[in-house]
Amino acid sequence: MSQPYRITLLPGDGIGPEIMAVAVAVLQCVAAQEGLQFEFQEALVGGAAIDATGEPLPAATLEQCRQSDAVLLAAIGGYKWDTLPRPQRPETGLLALRAGMELFANLRPATILPQLIDASSLKPEVVAGVDIMVVRELTGGIYFGQPKGIFATETGEKRGVNTMAYTESEIDRIGRVAFETARKRRGKLCSVDKANVLEVSQLWRDRITALASEYPDVELTHLYVDNAAMQLVRWPKQFDTIVTGNLFGDILSDVAAMLTGSIGMLPSASLGASGPGLFEPVHGSAPDIAGQDKANPLAQVLSAAMMLRYGLNQPQAAQRIEQAVLTVLDQGLRTADLAPPGAPVVGCRAMGEALLQALASDAPAQT
């Protein structure tokens, strides 16, 4: 039996605790199958942390995350905290967590599963076979640039300011992650910017272009972000790996997610140069359905699989989980977000139980 992995669980708000419970049960099941040990420790973040401590990211949470082997986060935020001053909002806690753990690279895969092709709002021939990886820069750009704030002008009018800034080294390190990622996939990288208007994007394009000489096996293209948004819904199969800054990546990853039919399916991994990674679904806390056993736990479960693959280097355990997800979809099980109108649906807990059964009936993996 290997050393136990120390995993910090951040269930957060809204549907977070329900979907986290499913992911933990699934992880315990594969741990038994693969001879792994997990030491789970919960911590507070987001609205749950605000209610308990007044802060969205208590220092103890950040410290515990830094000391872990990996961090699994569900979702944060909700109406209750939307009107608080910005430093006390749940979202500020998430950004501080990403920055505090130095997680500059966010990998957001969007893959169409044949089982869910009809769940997409686009035509089947447009989305069949889509397999995109969005590599989003996560600790720089306009989310973090200074100056920022709402300032009074001389006339007494208020002026809101954010600053989109990237240094060469910030661009280079995310660029390298993206080229390496593309190299392990189909060897195509599209860099997305707004270099026709923004200086920060011109520097981005210059640096990514310069890096390309180190990766002659990767085919590099560039798109302006408006065109990239259009191309993603026009003909998504032209994309393999996309690299872009924090804000454009936030927006384009939601577009890419929706190609797959439901944002409820998409996991993500946030990685730094070293140290533990943070694994979380792309979707939010869905306060409108929280506590009603309606949430789709699959993005959370697939995030646990990404944790095993990218965070703990346990690809076989990851594959067991991914296979179980395919099995329950093959069985026709659908949560409400995935089901056509009027079709039968299962709840979050039932989906979790079906996953455990699928894992149990899975033959021992080949080594």
User: Which residues bind to ligand IPM, rule: CB under 6 A?
Assistant: 91, 94, 250
Strand pairing class (241-244; 188-193): parallel
The residue among 302 and 359 lying less far from ligand IPM, judged by its C-beta, is: 302
Q: Segment contacting Mg ion (CB under 5 A): 28-36, 246-254, 305-313, 322-330?
A: 246-254
Regarding 18 and contact with Mg ion (CB under 5 A), the answer is: no
| In the complex, least distance from residue 283 CB atom to ligand IPM, rounded to whole angstroms | 9
Pick from 69, 250, 280, 337: which binds Mg ion (CB under 5 A)? 250
Please state, in angstroms and rounded to a whole number, the distance separating the CA atoms of residues 366 and 352: 25
Query: In this structure, which amino acid lies at residue 147?
Result: P
The residue among 108 and 309 lying less far from ligand IPM, judged by its C-beta, is: 108
The residue among 73 and 218 lying less far from ligand IPM, judged by its C-beta, is: 73
137 binds, among Mg ion, ligand IPM, none (CB under 5 to 8 A by kind): none
| In the complex, least distance from residue 93 CB atom to Mg ion, rounded to whole angstroms | 15
- Which pair of structure tokens corresponds to residue 336? 């409400």
The residue among 18 and 250 lying less far from Mg ion, judged by its C-beta, is: 250
Active site residue 194: yes
Contact 70, 276 (CB under 8 A): yes
- The catalytic residue among 51, 118, 206, 226 is 226
CA nearest to 320, candidates 2, 14, 4, 33: 33
Q: How many Cβ atoms from other residues are within 10 Å of residue 230's Cβ?
A: 13
| In the complex, least distance from residue 159 CB atom to Mg ion, rounded to whole angstroms | 26
- The catalytic residue among 250, 294, 310, 337 is 250
The residue among 282 and 355 lying less far from ligand IPM, judged by its C-beta, is: 282
First to last CA, the chain: 17
CA-to-CA separations, 327 to 157, 316, 345, 349, in angstroms, rounded: 58, 16, 16, 16
Active site residue 184: no
| In the complex, least distance from residue 250 CB atom to ligand IPM, rounded to whole angstroms | 4
34 binds, among ligand IPM, Mg ion, none (CB under 5 to 8 A by kind): none
DSSP character string of 79-138: GGGTTS-GGGSHHHHHHHHHHHTT--EEEEEEE--GGGGGGSSS-HHHHTT-EEEEEEE-
| In the complex, least distance from residue 224 CB atom to Mg ion, rounded to whole angstroms | 20
Please state, in angstroms and rounded to a whole number, the distance separating the CA atoms of residues 310 and 326: 20
Q: Which residues contact 299 (CB under 8 A, 6 or more apart)?
A: 19, 263, 264, 265, 266, 267, 281, 282, 283
Active site residue 143: yes
Please state, in angstroms and rounded to a whole number, the distance separating the CA atoms of residues 50 and 90: 7
Active site residue 166: no
- The catalytic residue among 172, 254, 293, 362 is 254
Q: Segment contacting Mg ion (CB under 5 A): 247-255, 304-312, 322-330, 345-353?
A: 247-255
The residue among 30 and 256 lying less far from ligand IPM, judged by its C-beta, is: 256
Q: Which residues contact 332 (CB under 8 A, 6 or more apart)?
A: none
- The catalytic residue among 5, 13, 143, 215 is 143
Q: Segment contacting Mg ion (CB under 5 A): 77-85, 94-102, 250-258, 291-299?
A: 250-258
Coil/strand/helix, residue 55 = coil
| In the complex, least distance from residue 85 CB atom to ligand IPM, rounded to whole angstroms | 16
Active site residue 254: yes
The residues binding Mg ion (CB under 5 A) are 250
Q: Tell me the catalytic residues.
A: 143, 194, 226, 250, 254
